[in-house]
Every structure is written in structure tokens, then in C-alpha cells.
Amino acid sequence: MLHSFYMSPTSFVIVGLGNPDKEYEKTRHNTGLIVLEHIKELCNFSSWKFDSKKNALVSEGEIGNRPVLLVRPSVFMNESGKTVRAFIKKMSELSRLIVIHDELDLPIGSYKVSFDRGAAGHKGVLSIFRSLKSGAFFRIRVGILARFRGAVKKPKGTKSVTSFVLGRFTKREKETLENVSGFVKKEIEKIISDA
């Protein structure tokens, strides 16, 4: 049974985007979930618990003395909005929503924080926009583009892009992603402290 911060009107909700099936677990497209898992460990949050009503795994804790709920939707990426909508009931709660997701326009090892910006074709983000009827929430876009001999190469064509985002990280890329998670945590701390 979930309790404590779960129904708190001042809780921040941090959502990691990805696909729930085992086959997608360590793919680039699941970067949001991978980073969320690192943050959970770094901040000593509670174990994941399944909320059947909201169709998500949730974990509770505090960041900067504020109650925070981590959310892993148990639906596919392009249906993420349904789950997020179950946690964000009012427009006034949008400013306490942070969504972490993969970003094909950024190289691995980098990230960008944005607020109320376009979805740039990301199907998970588009789903959230449609469900909330707004984009006025924080997003942390984590780069997944590979580097070849120092240069960044973006895959071309739908088939090539799909194959790339559903591909797995190399061992070195996994380490880079773990390091980036520490910086993402600091950005989250800043968002929360400025609220």
C-alpha cells in the first residue's frame, strides 16, 4: 500500500519514459527509465511498487526536503500520456512534473533541460502533450547519439533511426549514461529548489 507523499499536493512527479517489455530494457529508447533508475539509487528512494489503478511502478522519497514520486509507466512509450494524466490532475500541478527521455538530437554524455517546448517528434512526449493538453512542464532530454572518432553521427531514414534507438548501449556508453545521471540529479535538485 502506498502512503506518505503519494497524495501530497506539493509532491513533484518525475517520470522516466521507455517501453516496459524486457526486450527494450537496455535500449537507447529506454534512456528515461535508465536515468530514473540511477536517480532512485542516488537518492535512496523506496523500492518500486506497482499501482494497478495508475498502471505504473512508483517509488517515493525526498529531494531538497520536498516529497518526490518517481514514476515508471507500465505502458508503451506512445501511450505514456495516459499514465502521466493519472498523476497530474490539475493544471496547477504541471509545474511540478519532470519528464526524462531520450534525445536523438544530442550526443551521449549531454542533456538539456527545457520547459514548455515542442515535442520534436518524440512519440512519448507527444502522448503526454495530448493527454495533459499542455507542454508546460519540465523535460530533461538525455542525449543518445553515438560518437565515432570524436564526431557525432545521426542515423538517416526511418528504418535506420528505429534500428538505432532500439539498439543497446555499449559498455562505455552505459558508464557515460551513469555519469550523466548524476548531473541530471543536480538539475532536478535545482528545479525543485527554485519552485
Looking at the predicted structure, is the pLDDT value of residue 6 above 60? no
Residue-wise pLDDT for 73-102, tens only, equals 999 999 999 999 999 988 889 999 999 999
Residue 176 has a pLDDT of: 94
> Looking at 5-9, 114-118, 132-136, 142-146, which range is the least confident one?
5-9
Residue 3 has a pLDDT of: 47
Helices 31-42, 171-194: axis angle to 10 degrees equals: 70
The CA distance from 110 to 103, in Å, is: 10
Looking at the predicted structure, is the pLDDT value of residue 12 above 90? yes
The domain of 49 spans 4-194
Continuous segment of H or E residues that includes residue 183: helix 171-194
End-to-end alpha-carbon separation of the chain, Å? 29
Residue 139 has a pLDDT of: 97
Looking at the predicted structure, is the pLDDT value of residue 159 above 70? no
Of all residues in the chain, the percent with pLDDT exceeding 70 is 90
Continuous segment of H or E residues that includes residue 33: helix 31-42
Residue 189 has a pLDDT of: 97
Nearest alpha-carbon partner for 139 in 111, 185, 181, 99: 99
Total number of domains constituting the chain: 1
CATH assignment at residue 165? 3.40.50.1470
What is the set of active-site residues? Answer: 29
Which grid coordinates are listed for 135?
Answer: 507542454
